Amino acid sequence: MKKIILTGFTVASLLLVNACATNPVTGKKDIVLMSESQEIALGAQSDPAVLAQFGLYQDPKMQAFIQQKGQAMAAVSHRSNLEYEFKVVDSPVINAFALPGGYVYFTRGIMAHFNNEAQFAGVLGHEIGHITARHSVQQQTKSMLGQVGLIAGMIALPGLAQYGEAASQGLGLLFLKFGRDDERESDRLGVEYSSKIGYDASEMADFFQTLQRQQQASGSEGIPDMLSSHPNPGDRYETVHQLAAEWKQKLSLANPQVNRNNYLKMIDGIVYGEDPKQGFVENNVFYHPELKFSFPIPANWQHMNSPQQFQMAPQDGKAMMSLSLAPGETLEAAAQQMVQQYNLQVLESKNTTVNGLQAIAFIADQKPQEGQQQQQQQQPAIRLMTYLIKYGTNIYNIMGISTATNFNTYAPAFSNTMQNFAVLTAPDKLNRQPERVRIKTVGQGSTLAQILQNYNVPQQRREEMAILNGMQLSDRIEKGTLIKVVEK
């Protein structure tokens, strides 16, 4: 194994000598370990994983909008030769991100927080800028050169590694941290590209303020990398405004587009926050109305939901659980396939029932594969508890994983969750409806605070609605203005 790793590192070093490529934006030479064709292939291979993780947001007019604006902007970019794809994904998180090779994604969460087309266009240009300047390729190159040891460690956990935090490498490209210089360059490109298709790029700076207020209100979770821990928001705001003014003058944009009302009408009805039909957590219990099941989550464990699986982990990161669908027609077939796929050595196994549902439960260790015994001695042994539960036509796999050393500490939490998987029958959970953004026309001029009160917005949510609208509660809103409120 050491020989293989050293050989790989030597090859990478040799490639590095000839890995300089001209950056399409700057015209300077960059060190990258990826050709353009490899970059495009990487994006194409990773796109299905993104869609599996988040799902497409089912709104044809919104998907058509992002495609139309994205293609128009791509055509004026520094890499118009790429075949770009633009998609809105079904996530409440306020984020936008790009894959190498031309794949750009906006969450419905960020779409709900834009207040005009110009804000959207500025962020769209920012994300295209990461692609045209090859930022993610450069970051991936640094990651490849710096993580030889990490890759070696991951080999010890084939298959099971996908369930760990370190193993989100399939989606890791989406969330590579860009440095301040990269972010500034993408801001500059966002201003340039959005101005070239006729938008008022200064609106992007105003949206940064919305993001900053959202971050202060709820912490950094869910805030995109284009904001977090990068250029000072105040400096960034001023810089973008200055760049926008320069491009207005350069392009002679006498009346750049903002298109506030058109945008707000387009997002009328967009799902806001978690969508209950995809599953929701309430009082430390996960409910899935469509699949009609529930199970408890250990107290103080963090959780993440996606169309493919539901994951839970304690804050110390020393264990995790996941629920997903298991392949196989029978419980026995599902168990056998899992044992073979993950190279498991079963320590205990039993046929049982879970709240009236047939199940197989077992505890197993992952066996080192051939040639890995020496490395396995340096890696902690992995132990898991699994319940395979037959419910209707589906087999659900609830898996708890930790090191063998820590297993007994977390086994009670694993067992409690798995043994309390149950059929969901409570009408209030089965019929839970999502909140949606509704666009209202102000009937009488007043402060935003008073208008929200008139729309029966609870006092504790009025600041949230002010941020959603990109306004202050003290702002005076004129009659006929469109604003957002959130309703079920």
Domain, as residue range, for 281? 276-430
Alpha-carbon distance of 365 to 360, in angstroms, equals 16
182 plus 86 within the same structural domain: yes
- Pairwise CA distance, residues 470 & 472, whole Å: 7
Does 22 share its domain with 171? yes
pLDDT tens digits for 40-52?
Answer: 888 888 899 889 8
**Last residue of some domain: 238, 267, 296?**
267
Cα distance between residue 150 and residue 488, in whole Å: 46
Question: 267, 302, 331 — which closes off a domain?
Answer: 267
161 shares a domain with 241: yes
Same-domain check for residues 135 and 148 = yes
CATH number of the domain to which 449 belongs: 3.10.350
Q: Which of 387, 414, 430 is the last residue of a domain?
A: 430
C-alpha distances out from residue 318 to 303, 343, 391, 472, Å = 14, 21, 30, 43
Pair (252, 378) in one structural domain: no
Q: Which of 9, 287, 323 is nearest to 146 (CA)?
A: 9
**Number of domains the chain contains:** 3
Q: What SS3 class is residue 67? A: helix
Same domain, yes or no, for 26 and 46? yes
pTM for this prediction? 0.77
Structure tokens at 382: 């992995």
Residues 281 and 296 in one domain: yes
Whole-angstrom Cα distance, residue 140 to residue 101?
Answer: 13
Which segments of 143-187 are extended strands (E)? Answer: none
CATH number at residue 325: 3.40.1000.10
Q: How confident is the prediction along the chain (488 residues), in pLDDT tens digits per residue?
A: 333 333 333 333 333 334 556 676 665 555 555 678 888 888 888 899 889 888 999 999 999 999 999 999 999 999 999 999 999 999 998 889 888 899 999 999 999 999 999 999 999 999 999 999 887 665 554 443 333 322 222 222 333 333 333 333 334 444 445 677 888 899 999 999 999 999 999 999 999 888 888 878 865 444 444 444 345 556 788 999 999 999 999 999 999 999 999 999 999 999 999 899 999 999 999 999 999 999 999 999 988 888 888 999 988 888 999 999 999 999 999 999 999 988 999 999 999 999 999 999 999 998 876 555 554 455 678 999 999 999 999 999 999 999 999 999 999 999 999 999 999 999 999 999 999 999 999 999 999 999 999 999 999 999 999 999 999 999 999 999 999 999 98
Instruction: Using alpha carbons, select from 48, 119, 39, 112 the residue that is nearest to residue 79.
Output: 39
In a shared domain, residues 307 and 442: no
Look up residue 360 and give its two tokens.
């197989």
What tokens does 473 get? 């509660």
Instruction: Determine contact, residues 42/100, Cβ cutoff 8 Å.
Output: yes
User: Are both 439 and 426 inside the same structural domain?
Assistant: no
Query: Is 409 found in the same domain as 332?
Result: yes
459 and 387 co-located in one domain: no
What angle do the packed helices 117-132 and 260-267 form, to 10 degrees? 80
Residue 341 is predicted with a pLDDT of 87
